[in-house]
Structure 1
């Protein structure tokens, strides 16, 4: 039957195939596995907030050493985001998933056996290097989703990150008083260990297979998806987007092969992609600056004494710390939900711009000191909307790049964003500690305006747009 259809000349693209098989049990399983990557990242980054007081007590680490622990993890994530994106685009999504899971599991487990501060510092940098590969999970999942559902389901999948932060806070609340910080480190590695065990059930992205010319293998996976979802593929033969483009645009030069190593980084700055790449870097940096800065701002303002705010961060009791993390985590839920609905209704660009505008408006009253209750209420909004923007730009960045450099493009943008996360605490702490609340808020407002302007300058809207595998140059 298949041969007869192929002889009739019927063909279909990958996006047509994914639309035909629809969203079903297969995509739910893929999303849950990708969710383990989000949960692992959330757990391994949030854990530093909980073990800091214990390290000060047991190893007498200085405030500088404690801060260095956080910085070194972000540095590892910065390097890892670039490396794993390029690795995934070169060797495949599955090899990327497996390698990331191995690095996180081994280094996280070694953290629990740290005999001293230097050992812990080294292995936590390796953990950061591993969780820098979170973008691989997102790219892998997105490539299984039909165009008309891609934005919504990609954002919904990021809800696993929030789940991870909530679970980590609950785990710390239970484990820290009874078993100590080493047990918390060990138990926090369970998500990455689960991802390693369940790896055998994963399949390669059919879009990646099409990009490297293995359309027959991609078709086999699509048949499996259709069988699990109890649907059918379109009649005919699967053709890659490269084959379609060659029919529609003969004579064009195309970057169709996956670049090896860091040579793919040069493609991001090619004339076709340069504008959107640079704008994405600004947006990712602005998001990270705003997100981590607003969380820190919440802790600083909660002290009620700006001149001692930096000290207050280290003297809050554990119960207050867990509560703050839970509040911050819960604040992201409405933002993610709103973003998931809007990206398919009004588009990616408008969703991001609106999130920035709402974040800007909620921060305006804080230009002047407010009552503690009002301060908390006004800061809840920015946390909500900046997470919504984060989720939307995560979708956009994966849609704007072709399959051959999708993970690399997103990984580099994420890596650049880490710079914003590193700079934000320095600026925020110094300004608030010096009782310059207005200056601190103005810095956030300026970053939000810059991010919103960058979003509006993106060259295209990706809502409903088919993903491409090749880059025309």
Structure 2
């Protein structure tokens, strides 16, 4: 009875040896003084356990299920001379293996991760610049080509429509064919279509090219996931906040460029220069490594080990002793995850045979996995948060000039090259862009102290407070200040959600999950200019209408967050 009871828990010898049930011998001792008690320990217990509890499977894999009892005729006492060497060897093998997480923690954040931060951050700068320029190009094109407000809004909306398609598509591509291949194609599409937009002869061609730019921009989550997979688990929150700072760099850079370029050279030059950061990604693509976590997931442990050797050499550190393994009972993600990021154990939720699983899943299988019992709640939560974030953030970015126009009683075509010397509009956009810096600092200060979810809820609510006074007429300087505060809070929530999203998904569907959530966010960004353009003609009531819509969305997100948190 004792043997069978213990056998239910100790289905593999190395687990038996390391069990805390026998604290007097916590692990294999190397001292000869302890060798004799250890052998006596095995002689006694190996005589009690049935042989199928102690012997390995013929194929060498650990026993993971509950074994059936042997026939009555089978011997209950194994051959000690045959079993004991295996038991000792099992413990030696287990202690000489390590995972990607353990290797990254051992090497720490160093020069290599710093270089990867700059490379991935350049992609984030490119996306921010392409999004910010819509605030300036739309009004200028409307005035030059005589477009209606709805046609101008469509220039912005098609970019989000392209991002809606690209975010999910590039997630699947990067999960199946690698992170490097994913962001290579996105950089080609974004840079190429962005540069060709400069030569658009008419409205239709401009719409088509900007939609292609959006498809390329949808690959932004691929770069963030790729960078995240090089970061040691205990430091991910901090360095993802630093990574998000590159978005702020892009918005401030674009606003500064528009202030200089639009009055003299016009919107076509702004489009051309804004496509340069995507080209920089292509220049250095040849020296960028694949994610070692992705390589391990694909079973390419030798390639992953080669990448980790490069990381160790650049960081001037050493890899842990032993052999790199792709499957481990407990990943360090679970140990260092925030209290509200329910990470999945690879042993339980990631398939052992990744190639077979991929063939069975197909293209849409990974999307269905997002709604598995373990992921459905988190997936829905992410989609709600991404939608509310995108609607409010891009609405503030794209309509800052409109809100300023309303309060200053300027016509809506004030960004026309002939009268764009009205510096107040560029000033407002630049000032609100700088609001992202305190937003990043705020998120960095609270994200690890109070947790991801509570941080988002608090900043959502604070954003409502800043938007509330916009429901009534305000002086211009107060309007700019309120927009500054709202932009700060929305930037903080966006930063936290991009930290939270990759943490809750396993490697097999990480970029697909983040990409799908990002796609839902693009829907919010896509409908925002259309809704605003349909309800008003961009006068003083724009502030009231947009603030009202944003308040509803923010309160909705806050309420749903609290409900889902229970």
The TM-score range, normalised by the shorter chain, is: 0.7 to 0.9
Match of 1:114 in 2: 200
Between the aligned partners of 2:399 and 2:272, the Cα distance in structure 1 is 30
The TM-score, its normalising length taken from structure 1, stands at 0.87
Structure 2 SS opposite 1:360? helix
Q: Is 1:388 paired with 2:492?
A: yes
* Contact preservation (8 Å) 2:157, 2:525: no
Q: 1:29 to 1:62 in 2, by over 3 A?
A: same
User: Which of 299, 302, 306 lines up with 1:220 in the alignment?
Assistant: 306
Matched, 1:326 2:412: no
Aligned pair 1:21/2:107, yes or no? yes
How much has 1:200 moved relative to structure 2?
0.7
Distance 1:437 1:187 in 2: 31
Asked if residue 364 in structure 1 is aligned to residue 468 in structure 2, the reply is yes
Summarize deviations over 1:35-71 as a string: whole Å, max 9, x none: 1111111122222332334434544444333222111
Go from structure 1 to structure 2 and tell me whether the alpha carbon gap of 1:312 and 1:93 turns closer, same or farther (over 3 Å shift).
Answer: same
What is the CA deviation profile of residues 135-183 of structure 1, one whole-angstrom value per residue up to 9, with x for unaligned ones?
1110000111111110111121111111112222222333334433333
Q: Does 1:452 align with 2:554?
A: no
* Distance in 1 separating the partners of 2:148 and 2:470: 32
| 1:148/1:344 contact within 8 Å kept | no
Pairing of 1:2-81 with structure 2 (within 5 A): 9-81=95-167
Give the 3-state SS of the residue equivalent to 1:200 in structure 2: helix
Query: Which residue matches 1:317?
Result: 420
Q: 72-81 or 426-435: which moved more?
A: 426-435
Matched, 1:185 2:274: no
Do the aligned partners of residues 309 and 261 (structure 1) sit closer, same or farther apart at CA in structure 2, a change above 3 Å counting?
Answer: farther
The equivalent of 2:241 in structure 1 is 155
* Alpha-carbon offset, residue 433 of structure 1: 5.1
* Aligned equivalents of 2:346, 2:490: Cα separation in 1: 43
Q: Is the 8 A contact 2:237 2:499 kept in 1?
A: yes
Q: Bigger shift: 350-359 or 419-428?
A: 419-428
Aligned to 2:81: none
Deviation of 1:289 after TM superposition, in Å, equals 1.4
Aligned partner of 1:273 among 372, 375, 389: 375
Give the drift of 1:406: 0.8
The structural deviation recorded for 1:328 is 2.1
The Cα of 1:283 is off from its aligned counterpart by 0.5
- SS of 2:363's partner is coil
C-alpha distance in 1 between matches for 2:303 and 2:400: 51
Matched, 1:421 2:525: yes
Paired residues, what number? 453
CA shift for structure 1 position 458: 5.5
- C-alpha root-mean-square deviation of aligned residues, in Å? 2.9
Pick aligned residue for 1:378 from 482, 497, 500: 482
Q: Distance in 1 between matches of 2:509 and 2:94?
A: 34
Deviation at 1:427, TM superposition (A): 4.2
Contact 2:391/2:528 (8 A) holds in 1 = yes
For 1:261, what is the secondary structure of its paired residue? helix
User: Structure 1 residues 294, 451: CA separation in 2 closer, same or farther (over 3 Å shift)?
Assistant: same
CA contact (8 A) 1:90 1:261 kept: no
Partner of 1:95: 181
Task: Specify the SS of the correspondent of 1:137.
Answer: helix
Looking at structure 2, the residues matched to 144 and 364 of structure 1 have their Cα atoms a distance apart, in angstroms, of 41
| CA distance in structure 2 between the aligned counterparts of 1:45 and 1:154, rounded to whole angstroms | 20
Once the 2 structures are TM-superposed, how far is the Cα of residue 313 of structure 1 from its aligned partner?
Answer: 7.2
Q: CA deviation at 1:457?
A: 5.1
Which of residues 61, 84, 93 is equivalent to 2:170? 84
Q: Which has the larger radius of gyration?
A: 2
Shift of 1:96: 0.5
Greater relative contact order structure (CA < 8 Å, 6+ sep): 1
CA distance in 2 between partners of 1:353 and 1:361 (Å): 13
* TM-score, normalised with respect to structure 2: 0.73
Segments of 5+ residues of structure 2 without an aligned counterpart are 1-90, 332-343
Structure 1 455/213 Cα, relative in aligned 2: closer, same or farther at 3 Å? farther
Partner of 1:443: 549
Quick check: 1:303 aligned with 2:405?
yes
Q: Which residue of the partner structure matches residue 345 of structure 1?
A: 449
Specify the alignment match of 1:463 in structure 2.
none
1:285-340 Cα shifts (integer Å, max 9, x gaps): 0111121233456444433559x788477678353342232122101111012212
Q: Which runs of 5+ in 1 are unaligned?
A: 461-473
CA distance in 1, matches of 2:133, 2:310: 39
Question: Per the alignment, do residues 22 and 67 of structure 1 end up closer, same or farther by CA in structure 2, a change over 3 Å counting?
Answer: same
Question: Which residue is 2:281 aligned to?
Answer: 195
- 1:287 alignment partner, one of 369, 386, 389: 389
